[in-house]
Amino acid sequence: MKAIVGLGNPGKKYLENRHNIGFRVIDKLAAENRLRLKRSLSQKAWLGEFNSESHVFLLAKPVSFMNNSGISVARILARYKVSPQNLLVVYDDADLDLGLMRLRKSGSSAGHKGIASVLEVLGRKDISRLRIGIGRFRQGDLADYVLSDFSQAEKEKLDMVISRAAIASLEWFKEKKEKTIKVEL
């Protein structure tokens, strides 16, 4: 089994926030595969499974809030017996322009508290990740920025970014090749 975990914050208040782009990629994958995610209290996540090209994929949206995502991810891996090598974490990156994505096999958190929680709880840095640019943070408070909604102009481009991120998530398990992806907006 392969697991794709999108990071975000639960609740309507955060639904359209930049910080929730990981959740939106999971929602896109679920919709494309006619899958309805179900709430799991024990895993602290919304979960669903689908088959694609002889692989079983588990989609997950932790509901433990961004900064505690590692708790949910650890429970999911244990419950579904998913090895860390078969995990891809999808999340926002305020250091990348909208439309830019980076697939990596490992690395530090670079200050992102959601992936920092995952790395800390799992006790390793070799966790594959898809970092999705949400627009480069320039000034002010970073927390306010990531918890803000996309502008109207950005929203018009967001569907293309989310669609490409969904494709990249599935491709990762075929190629396992680190790369930067630029969506032409």
Q: What is the DSSP string of 93-154?
A: ETTS-TTEEEEES----TT-HHHHHHHHHHT-S--EEEEEE-----SS-HHHHHTSBPPHHH
Residue written as tokens 């508290």?
113
C-alpha pair distances (Å), 111 with each of 6, 12, 95, 142, 143: 17, 25, 10, 11, 12
Number of helices (H) and strands (E) in the chain: give both, helices first. Answer: 5, 8
Listed residue (61, 78, 73, 80) closest to 117, CA to CA: 73
Known catalytic residues are 19
Which amino acid is residue 185, in one-letter code?
A: L
CB 36, CB 60: distance < 8 Å: no
